[in-house]
Amino acid sequence: MSIQAFFQIWQAEQRISSKKSHGCNGCFLGLLILFLSPFLAAIGIAFCCYYAVYIEPNWVRVQRVVIDQPELAKELSGVKIVQLSDIHTIDRVRKLENRMVEVTNALEPDIILITGDFITKREGFEPCMEAISKLKARIGIWGILGNCDTSVSKYQWKQGGKQAGMTMLIDERTSIDMADGKRLWLLGLNNGHNSNDPYLRRLIRGIKSDDAVILMDHDPSNIEIDSMFDIDLVLSGDTHGGQCGLRWIRQFYGWKSKYLSGLYKVKDTYLYVNQGLGWHHKPVRFLCWPEVTLITFVSDGHGTRIKEPEEADEEYRLSRLQIFLKGIWKGIDTTKVSKIVRQEDMRE
C-alpha cells in the first residue's frame, strides 16, 4: 500500500469518527435541553409574576405626547401640560405616589390635570391628598372625579382638593388667561352621567370658537358624544391601558375598550387616554407601565402618531386556551396577594 493511499484511508476514518462524536454530543445536548425545559419555563414564569407584581407597578415612566393642533399650538405654545390618572391610592402614601410626585415635579409642568380615580376606597382619600399637595405646577392643578371616587362626597373632594392646592371641576369649567391675551378653557365632567350631552351644552355655552378648549372626562367611551362639540382635546383614563401590554393575555384579563391607551382622533377632536398609575381588581402591571403624560402642542405636522380604535374582543373569537385561562384568572382571589404587596410597601 502506498503512503498516499494510507493517508486517504486515515482521513476517511477520522471523518467517520468525527460524525459519530458530533451525533452523540447532539443527542446529549438535546436530552439536556428537554430535561431542563420545564425548570427554565417555571423560572421564567416565576420571574414574570414577580416583575408584574413588585417591579413594574412602581416603575413610573414619562410618556411624551406631541399633538399637532394649530389652534391649541397658537394658544399654548411653550406650555407644558402633565396628565395624571387612576392613582388608586389604597390606605397610605406608597412608593408609587412618591415616584409620581418625583417624576412629575422633575418635568416642571405649567398645568397638571388629573382625570379621576384618585382612590380605590375611602381610606385612600387623606393619603392621596397628601401626595397631591406635594405636586408643583406654575399655573395650577385641576382634577375631576372617576367611578372609584364616589365613596367620598363631592363637598369633601372640593375641600380636600383646595387644601392640597388642587381645584376640582365637577361638571364645571374655568378659564385661564395665557400670554398675549390668549385664553384656555378647562372643562371637567363628573363620571357616571347617562349622557354627557346636556352637561356639555351648558359648559360650552359662551365659549368663543377660536378659544382653546380641553375637556377632562374620565371615561374615554364618551368620546362619541364629546366629539360632537367644539372641543379641541379630551383627556381620559379609566382603562389602565388594560394593565397588560400583550393583547393575547389582555383578552382574558377582562379589559375591553375601543380606546384603550394613547392618542386618537374622532371627527375634529383629539382624545388622549392615559394608562394610569395604579391598579384595580388585580395587583399587576405587565408591559403597561404607570404613566405620567407630558403633553405639548405643535402645528408643523410632527405630532405623535394617531392610533386606530381597537376591535371588540368578542368571546367567540377567543381560542379554547384563552377561554380556559380567562376562567382561571377570574377565579383567582387576589386579596392575599394585595395584602402582601401592601406589606412590602410598608417595609420600604
Q: What is the CATH number of the domain that holds 94?
A: 3.60.21.10
Residue 324, in any domain of the structure: no
C-alpha cell at 4: 498516499
Tell whether 335 is covered by a domain. Answer: no
Residue with cell 376640582: 168
Is residue 306 situated within a structural domain? yes
pLDDT at position 213, please? 96
Provide the 10 A C-beta neighbour count for residue 246.
Answer: 12
283 in a domain, yes or no? yes
Q: Provide the total of helices (H) and of strands (E) in the chain, helices listed first.
A: 10, 12
Instruction: Tell me, yes or no, whether 204 lies in a domain.
Output: yes
- Is 97 inside any structural domain? yes
- Using only the alpha carbons of the chain, give its radius of gyration: 27
DSSP H or E run through 214: strand 212-216
pLDDT, residue 265, reads 96
pLDDT of res. 316: 45
- Beta strand 183-188 with 172-177 is antiparallel
Check if the beta carbon of residue 307 is closer than 8 Å to that of residue 263. yes
pLDDT at 225: 96
Closest residue by Cα to residue 224 from 265, 178, 273, 166: 265
pLDDT along the chain (348 residues), means of 10: 56 56 61 73 84 92 95 89 97 95 98 97 97 98 97 97 98 90 92 93 92 96 95 96 82 73 96 95 88 95 91 58 62 56 55
Domain count within the chain: 1
**Which residue, chain included where needed, has cell 360632537?**
228
What pLDDT is attached to residue 312? 60
- C-alpha distances out from residue 128 to 74, 91, 316, Å: 35, 8, 41
216: containing domain: 60-315
Question: In the sheet where 61-68 sits, what is the strand order?
Answer: 61-68, 291-298, 81-84, 111-115, 140-144, 167-168
pLDDT value for 117: 97
Give the residues across from 114 on adjacent strands.
84, 143
pLDDT at site 241: 92
